[in-house]
Amino acid sequence: MDHILVFYGSYRSDRMGIRLAQFIVDGLRERGAAPELIDAKAVGLPMLDRMYKEYPPGEAPPAMEALARKIRAADAFVFVCGEYNWGPQPGLKNLTDHFLEEWFWRPAAIASYSAGRSSGVRSGSTWHAILSEMGMVVISSALAVGPIAQTLDADAKPQGGPGESLRKAFGRFADDLAWWTEAAREQRARKSPPY
């Protein structure tokens, strides 16, 4: 069973992207994976001062220590990213930057969204470079959702034409992630990573 962490990072009061995060969690669970939503706002890490690895063993803040364990134990990651002024959400970026080696040698997928038709794709492109630099293999399939309010209802259920398009795209997205998750897990079992 694939243990997949789904990261979401908006700190805004009216968070629409949480619908997409929940849709992904629900969809992965229906496919037999074991997804877990990691909400940056709920985790509540401070603005980056020290990375996890910069704390002496056992001295990192409890929330950071708990998240480091979850990241190390995960098989894969999904990053649900909104777009702020053509860039990534600061809350998700801040959470991600607290860790480095913990991310290595696992696949990551990107699901972007926005209130408008651009679907957060500029942020998604930025995240591709960020995650690659942090040692993850970013899969080629991506989800791009917008307008988010017209695609998923308040219960994270697809609605109308945009919702049907998302439902169809999710299958390939999940298949791609599952393939790379299995490949990475088997390779790590066969051979230790070079660093």
Q: Is the pLDDT of residue 85 over 90?
A: no
Q: With helix as H, strand as E and coil as C, how does the chain read?
A: CCEEEEEECCCCCCCCHHHHHHHHHHHHHHCCCEEEEEEHHHHCCCCCCCCHHHCCCCCCCHHHHHHHHHHHHCCEEEEEEEEECCEECHHHHHHHHCCCHHHCCCEEEEEEECCCCCCCHHHHHHHHHHHHHCCCEEEEEEEEECCHHHHECCCCCECHHHHHHHHHHHHHHHHHHHHHHHHHHHHHHHCCCCC
pLDDT at 86 (0 to 100): 86
pLDDT at 111: 98
Give the pLDDT confidence of 4-13 residue by residue, as tens digits. 999 999 999 9
The model carries a pTM of 0.97
> For 17-21, 28-32, 86-90, 158-162, which range has the lowest pLDDT when averaged over its residues?
86-90
pLDDT, one tens digit per residue, over 104-143 is: 999 999 999 999 888 999 999 999 999 999 999 999 999 9
Model pLDDT, residue 47: 97
Residue 95's Cβ-count burial label (10 Å; 0-12, 13-18, 19+) is buried
Quick: pLDDT tens for 36-55: 999 999 999 999 999 999 99
Across the range 52-62, mean pLDDT stands at 97
What domains are there in the chain, each with its CATH number? Answer: 3-190 (3.40.50.360)
Mean pLDDT of 27-43: 98
* Terminal Cα-to-Cα distance of the chain (whole angstroms): 26
pLDDT band at 189 (very low <50, low <70, confident <90, very high): very high
Q: What are the two backbone dihedrals, phi and then psi, of residue 142, each rounded to the nearest 5 degrees?
A: -140, 155
